Amino acid sequence: MINPLLSVVFGMVVFHERLRRLQWVSVALAAAGVVYLTVALGTLPWIALPLAASFGTYGLMKKLAPLGAVHGLTFETGILFIPAALYLFVEELGGRAAFMHAGPLRNMMMLAAGPVTTLPLLMFAAGVRRIPLSLVGMLQYINPTLQITIGVMLYKEPFTGIQLAGFSLVWCALALFAIEGYVTRRWPQLGITDVS
Asked whether the predicted pLDDT for residue 195 surpasses 80, the reply is no
Residue 167 lies in a domain: yes
* Tally of residues, the chain: 196
Q: What pLDDT score does 172 carry?
A: 94
What is the 3-state composition of the chain as percent helix, strand, coil, each rounded to the nearest 5? 75, 0, 25
DSSP 40: H
Residue 195 lies in a domain: no
Residue 196 lies in a domain: no
Residue 171 lies in a domain: yes
Residue 72 has φ and ψ, to the nearest 5°, of -65, -45
Band of pLDDT at residue 146, cut at 50, 70 and 90: very high
Q: State mean pLDDT over 175-188.
A: 85
Residue 86 lies in a domain: yes
Band of pLDDT at residue 99, cut at 50, 70 and 90: confident
Q: Is 95 left (phi over 0), alpha (psi -120 to 50) or beta?
A: left
Angle, helices 104-130/48-64, rounded to nearest 10 degrees: 60
Structural domain harbouring 53 = 3-190
Q: Are 144 and 1 in contact (CB under 8 A)?
A: yes
Band of pLDDT at residue 193, cut at 50, 70 and 90: low
Per-residue pLDDT tens over the stretch 102-141: 889 999 999 999 999 999 999 999 999 899 988 888 888 8
Number of domain units in the chain: 1
Non-local CB neighbours of 126 within 8 Å, separated by 6+ positions? 68, 69
